[in-house]
Structure 1
């Protein structure tokens, strides 16, 4: 059984992804991907999780660009969602991809060390 907030979250995901594909005019917004949307049960807030290709500077620039486009994005959501109240938008960088990459890196290091240890014996 879907909660209404989950359905709204899916719709917000589609809308924001579409806006990013069309291209927001802010040059700070790089190659960004929306990884998830969580809408509160009362529909007042939508936290949009994103990742971006690049270094910390690219992440900060993209987050600043997204935050400055928040009003435009919210207006576009209002046009498409047909809700009495359009959720406030909160952008959060999704660290799960960084964590996953770090785990992969550590596992590769362990494998390399095990391989070298077995050669030494």
Structure 2
């Protein structure tokens, strides 16, 4: 029987550190205008530290999300190299950028609830 890999502990701490370092690098070092203002909402690191899913939100319109992802992917090599210099782990993970739509979805649901309450109050 194989032991299941742990999902907590060190991978979570490494993910948090990657999130902090990437946020700093994106704010002060990366000058790609396609990226604009983004917020990193989370980083999930694989158990073997070979891959990291980097979740982000932005105020850009849906049509511009592809440009933001293209800008992030263009900076991926630089970001990975800089992370390797800042974080002492055996292998610097490959970065995968994913648009986090949960905040926009939550705002939309909140608007729907507010409208339903308003409609009910008018009845």
Q: Report the TM-score when normalising by structure 1.
A: 0.90
**Counterpart for residue 81 of structure 1:** 87
**Counterpart for residue 115 of structure 1:** 121
Tell me by how many angstroms 1:54 deviates: 2.0
Task: Return the index of the structure with the highest Cα Rg.
Answer: 1
Moved over 3 A (4+): none
Tell me by how many angstroms 1:96 deviates: 0.6
2:41 is the counterpart of 1:40: no
CA contact under 8 A between 1:30 and 1:58: conserved in structure 2? no
Tell me by how many angstroms 1:37 deviates: 0.6
One of 74, 80, 85 as aligned partner of 1:68? 74
**Counterpart for residue 19 of structure 1:** 25
Q: Distance in 1 between matches of 2:30 and 2:98?
A: 18
Q: Number of residue pairs matched? A: 116
Identify unmatched segments of 5+ residues in structure 2: 1-7
2:106 is the counterpart of 1:100: yes
1:38-59 alpha-carbon deviations (Å, 9 max, x no partner): 1111111110000001211232
CA contact under 8 A between 1:10 and 1:37: conserved in structure 2? yes
Structure whose residues are more often helix by fraction: 1
Q: Distance in 2 between matches of 1:14 and 1:54?
A: 22
Calculate the aligned-residue CA RMSD, in Å: 1.1
